[in-house]
Amino acid sequence: MTESEGAAEAADDALHRLATALVDSASLVRAVPERLRVAPVDGLPPGAVPPLQGLLNRLTDALELPRLDVVPEPAGLWSVELALSRRLMPGSGAYDAVAGRGECEDVEGIARSAAAALPGRPVVVPAHDGSPLRCWTAGREDRPAVALVTACGMPVGLVTRWMTALSGSYRVVTWESRGLFTTESRPGPAALGDHSLAAQARDLSAVLDGFGIRRAHVMGLCGGAAIALAAASGSARVMSMSLWHGDYELGGAVPKTDHQRDVESLLAMASRNLKRATGLHRLMRRPSALDGMRADLAHHLIHPYATPDLLHRYGLLNGAIMGTDCRPFLAAGQPALVVSSPKDTTAHPAGSEYVAARLARANLHMLPDGDHLSAFDAGPELVRLAEEFLHDVTAPHRKDT
């Protein structure tokens, strides 16, 4: 390979990474009505801005995303723009290669390839009250079904690693929270409608109906564990459940972390009305709002705070999850795996211990390491743990989906 061929291949690789990052950030890009700016964290020489802007325009157009403005420096960007910049433009070096690609003829092909990778394009399924749910599926239809219930307000990208890890052996389905995401057919999210925990639990049945799945094994992460638990307690369609670093309301039975108390307070204020949410959103626009967020996940974690309306809706939805007593759901009789870690400072591990002790057929697995967000990384040990549990509970029912 000649030096020029090697440089072109490196540039194409960088361009593909940029396209993949745009797909991963699409929910956030669509959520904000104002035009967003992005910049590498260490800045760009002014001469690199026009070619990079041209390539970025071609990519966003091919992906049917709003255009973004490339600026030479990150100074002055607000929190959402900084989160996007960290995902799209982690450093100027790679983007020197992208900008040097010039008039690349295959930008649209690169965009199509990125869009076709997991999780792929969503399927819109109506909930029982008509709310549109953005859903995804992966894996063969004749395999046992696993429904991933992610944290409230989080884009599908947060569970893509789990989809990839499990879809080789299972049919995996997942969806995003009702009323918090823009579909391609409308400029903003649909009316929120019912925001109760019960309604969010019923969304599981709607998703299964939408994909023609009779029964499923349910995997809940963070607040999704409370939704999974509520769904399992009221439906025989849930064959088993694994609950990962669950965030539960259990009355005064267990302690809560400082994070849980702080978020509950914020959600209570945001849920009151749009005016209160607008005031809180001004605080969330500050770059300091990203403090403590992992840079590789900040573009997902900031999504429910991206606009005043989203923050208000998030206050209602996640407030219902965090404020509904889960103790009545502990009569659920399905096999269950409950996972947490003493190092989780986000959702108190004592909640998982309490839940596991009271479910009739639960096993508790306390990981020696791993914080709350590591549950979404689908690392080898976690995948092994999930697959062992799923193998045990699916072996007698391989065709019962």
Tens digits of residue pLDDT in 329-360: 999 999 999 999 999 999 999 999 999 999 99
pLDDT of residue 12: 78
Report the length, in residues, of the chain. 401
In the block, residue with structure tokens 């109906």: 209
> Measured between alpha carbons, how far is 199 from 179 in angstroms, rounded to an integer?
12
List of the chain residues with pLDDT < 70: 1-8, 91-105, 184-186, 396-401
Ramachandran sector of residue 236 (left: φ over 0; alpha: ψ -120 to 50; beta: rest): alpha
Contact 345, 251 (CB under 8 A): no
Q: CA gyration radius for the chain?
A: 21
Amino acid at 207: V
> Measured between alpha carbons, how far is 229 from 256 in angstroms, rounded to an integer?
19
pLDDT of residue 6: 57
Which are the contacts of 389, defined by CB distance < 8 A and separation ≥ 6? 240, 242, 337
Closest CA to 76 of 28, 32, 36, 31: 36
244 has which bridge partners? Answer: 221, 339
The CATH classification number of 123-397 equals: 3.40.50.1820
The two tokens of residue 273 are 């009305």
pLDDT of residue 95: 62
Q: Are strands 362-366 and 336-340 parallel, antiparallel or unpaired?
A: parallel
Contacts of 30-33 spanning 24+ positions with Cβ under 8 A: 30/65, 30/66, 30/182, 31/181, 31/182, 31/303, 31/306, 31/307, 31/310, 32/80, 32/306, 32/307, 33/187, 33/188, 33/307
The CA–CA distances, whole Å, from 52 to 7, 35, 81, 251, 365 equal 16, 17, 17, 53, 48
Other beta carbons less than 10 A from residue 257's beta carbon = 18
pLDDT of residue 102: 55
pLDDT of residue 399: 47
Contact 321, 227 (CB under 8 A): yes
Residue spans of the domains in the chain: they are 3-116, 123-397
Which are the contacts of 256, defined by CB distance < 8 A and separation ≥ 6? 348, 351
Closest CA to 299 of 31, 84, 20: 84
Closest CA to 248 of 214, 224, 268: 224
Peptide bond into 119 cis (omega under 30): yes
